[in-house]
Amino acid sequence: MTPPSKSLGFSRRSIPYRGKTFSNQCLSCSDPANCCGSDLKTGFDGASPTKKPGLSRRDFLKVMGGVSAVLAGAPFIAAGQFLIPPVPRKFQPLLIGRSADVPVNGSTVFWFPFTTDPNYTNMLIHLPPNLAKEVGAEFVAYNRTCIHLQCLVSYLSNSQQIGCPCHGSIYRPTDGWPISGPAAQIGRYLPNVQLRIDGDNIYAVDINLDDIGYGNTTPPAK
């Protein structure tokens, strides 16, 4: 004999429903018309209504109110593109340090091109001689936003690598390519900050904002 199903904590009592009285057990059934022996054939019971109900006056007023609100707000939506300035794509060179300020195999953090979000923090790395020879430059700079889940990476001088503290992704400091961890499965370069060196001064010149947090498919230009 099949055991009776549980009613999810409801007691056996009568409940008024659509002008009639039913037990809560029959109303919890997936087919009230058959379980309760009623002839309630409506869209709620799975039956198709014989006549499609018309739009009530209240619903009509709601629709017209929504249309009026959209029409009233349209001028402000159009004006928004003039009130909100576009994000610039070219930036003024920013002095981020001097060569003597960053020791060999060391790094420093700087903001560029904005100071509104930690994702705009970058790292300037003074490469050790073996890596500088490979790159053909003493200094490189990358955005710190990991391409995996956007934690902030740092240069690890002991291993001469760039590491993410959240999930262990490791990048090469020579070009920002991920070599291990979840970022390696994504396979995109850390965004490169273009530098300009004028004597002892180091300037940040440009970065592709679209690459921040997602990476780039091409290595930095040498």
Residue whose entry in the numeric block shows the structure tokens 């970058």: 122
The amino acid present at 222, given as its one-letter code, is: K
Distance CA 170, CA 177 (A): 8
User: Is the per-residue pLDDT at 93 higher than 70?
Assistant: yes
SS3 call for 6? coil
Residue 94, pLDDT above cutoff 70: yes
**Among all chains, which residue has been given the structure tokens 């499965």?**
185
Name the CATH superfamily, with its identifier, for domain 94-211: Rieske [2Fe-2S] iron-sulphur domain (2.102.10.10)
pLDDT band at 99 (very low <50, low <70, confident <90, very high): very high
- Position 222 scores a pLDDT of 72
Per-domain boundaries in the chain = 19-45, 94-211
pLDDT at 155 over 50: yes
- Which residue has tokens 């009026």? 68
The average confidence (pLDDT) of the chain is 77
Per-residue pLDDT reduced to its tens digit, 102-139: 999 999 999 999 998 999 999 999 999 999 999 999 99
- Say what the pLDDT of residue 90 is: 81
Contact predicate 107/175, CB 8 Å: no
| pLDDT at residue 202 tops 90 | yes
What pLDDT shows up at residue 221?
Answer: 81
For the chain, helix, strand, coil in percent to 5 are 25, 25, 50
d(CA 212, CA 38): 62
pLDDT digits (tens, 9 = 90+) for 2-55: 444 444 444 455 545 445 555 545 444 444 445 555 444 333 333 333 344 455
The whole model's pTM is what? Answer: 0.62
List strands edge to edge, sheet with 121-126.
Answer: 106-111, 121-126, 139-143
Contact 187, 178 (CB under 8 A): yes
pLDDT at 21: 58
At residue 132, φ and ψ (nearest 5 deg) are -60, -35
